[in-house]
Amino acid sequence: MNELPVVIAPDALPALIDYLYSRGIARVNLVADGNTWAALGERAARALAAAGVEPRPLLLAGAEVTPDEPTVVELLLAAGRQQRPYLAVGSGVITDVTRFASYCTGNDFISLPTAPSVDAYTATASSLILRGLKQSVYSQAPVAVFADLDTLCAAPQAMIAAGFGDVVAKFTSVADWKLAALLWDGPYDDGVAQRMAAARDRCMAQVDAVGAAEPAGIHSLIDALIEAGLCMLAFGGSQPAGQSEHYISHYLEMKLVREGRKPVLHGAKTGMATVIVARYYQQIRQMSRDEAARRLAASPRPDRQAEIMRIRHAYGDLTAALIVEQAPFLDWSEADYARLQQRILERWPEVQAVAAEVPSPDALTDLLERAGGTADARALGLGDEEMALAEEYGHYVRNRFTVLKLSRVLGLLV
């Protein structure tokens, strides 16, 4: 895989123009919405035009753009049939829909982040809501990223805190990834896991500078977010950067869309959900092997029909798709379940070692608050009842073995 050019600079537009010149690119589709056009899109368009590059603005309508079918169609219709690279000027939603549209039309795309709010900038998959279900849809990575540090530092504090929350989530995503390899023979790459953890820890060391929107802190934050995408790209999947904490967030996002409610920033939800997931890791860290054995002996194999009823209760008309997604777990035989229980006990010290890598819920809450975020779901406009549903049923969103699946087997999550 060729090295992906990444520039993080106080004014990244000259580097973007040099990149376009070096590749003979004379016209681009510039994708933005009203907010990101004001933040960077208009300035980028003027700079490109002055340099002799034709920027064709494609402005998505609405105060809140949703990554769903109407938005994708809106963008494809606006782009037309002319072949030209895309510039995604925005954060998560703009990047995801541009990634998908450019892939569908056979064009490259370049990422121009406007906020250090998500880890999607260098990923290959688009996170889209299709027929009401949050899905990772294979698309393509950008061919280059130009992060304008002045713009990122001026981003709303809520978006900066959301990006930090998405980096905090790497504590539980990496731990879940290790658990899946340990107990479920899931695919794993220790080198990539170490890369993700190192970028996360560099960002955590700058938490106060992130909270103050200082250049050093924002540089470390966008670097960690970009590195998360590169880790996903290197591994070929989202495992390094998104696991059980993301599934709780996905459940909430789908619920908000279904109910026509105001969205909550992705990273704000994942950061808050990381604290929830950390509580399960804390319980496992404190649990003796004897207690684990007692819990396993008292925990029967989940019944297929009962599980389907649970999915239907939580997801309604999305049930059929999730039955397919969850087939490996719904189809557990007694022998499969017994082997899993035996492996959990045999590897309990290793399980606890993984759990020990996750900071306490209080420590994670402190990090989020120092960066200007929160672990309080109610402060994000989310109610206690829907949070209980997300915690209980979020793990059905993806076919992965995480600490929430382990907690079901141990009787911690019912």
Residue 129 pLDDT class (50, 70, 90 cuts)? confident
Where does residue 398 fall: left (phi above 0), alpha (psi -120 to 50 degrees), or beta otherwise? beta
Residue 1 domain flag: no
Q: How confident is the model at residue 6 (pLDDT cuts 50, 70, 90)?
A: very high
Token digits of residue 73:
């169609």
d(CA 246, CA 234): 20
- Distances in Å between the Cα of 60 and the Cα atoms of 36, 87, 99, 154, 293 are 10, 13, 14, 22, 55
pLDDT of residue 92: 87
Judgement on whether residues 335 and 187 belong to the same structural domain of the protein: yes
The pLDDT, as a whole number, for residue 104 is 92
- Answer yes or no: do 86 and 188 share one domain: no
pLDDT in tens, 338-380: 999 999 999 999 999 999 999 999 999 999 999 999 999 999 9
If asked whether residues 195 and 271 sit together in one domain, one would say: yes
Quick: pLDDT tens for 142-178: 999 999 999 999 999 999 999 999 999 999 999 999 9
What's the pTM value of the predicted model, to 2 decimals? 0.92
Which of 155, 190, 224 terminates a domain? The answer is 155
Q: Rounded to the nearest 10 degrees, what angle do helices 157-168 and 361-370 cross at?
A: 150
Distance of CA 83 to the CA centre of its chain: 30
How far apart are the C-alpha atoms of 399 and 138, rounded to whole Å? 16
Instruction: Using the CB atoms, write b or e for 390-413: b if 16+ within 10 Å.
Output: bbbbbbbbbebbbbbbbbbbbebb
Residue 257 lies in a domain: yes
Which tokens go with 235? 């591994």
Please provide the average confidence, as pLDDT, over all residues in the chain.
Answer: 94
201 and 334 assigned to the same domain: yes
- Does 62 have pLDDT greater than 80? no
- 212 domain residue, yes or no: yes
How many domains would you assign to the chain?
Answer: 2
Separation between Cα atoms, residue 270 and residue 243, nearest integer Å: 10
Q: Are residues 121 and 194 in the same domain?
A: no
CB 177 within 8 A of CB 357: no
Which residues contact residue 48 at a Cβ distance below 8 angstroms, ignoring those fewer than 6 apart?
A: 16, 17, 20, 28, 30, 54, 55
Cβ neighbors of 49 (< 8 A, separation 6 or more) are 55
Q: What is the DSSP code (8-state) at residue 173?
A: H
Helix axis angle, 244-258 relative to 170-184, nearest 10°?
A: 110
- Name the least confident of 49-53, 190-194, 317-321: 317-321
pLDDT of residue 180: 96
* Chain centroid offset of residue 338 CA: 33
Confidence at 1, pLDDT banded by 50, 70, 90:
very low
| Better-scored residue on pLDDT, 45 or 138 | 45
- The answer to whether the CB of 107 falls within 8 A of the CB of 123 is no
Average pLDDT over residues 289-298: 97
Q: Give the CATH number of the domain where residue 65 resides.
A: 3.40.50.1970
Over residues 38-62, the mean pLDDT reads 95
Is it the case that residue 249 has pLDDT exceeding 80? yes
Say how many C-beta atoms besides its own lie within 10 A of residue 226's C-beta.
Answer: 23
262 and 137 part of one domain: no
Q: Which residues form the domain of 20?
A: 6-155
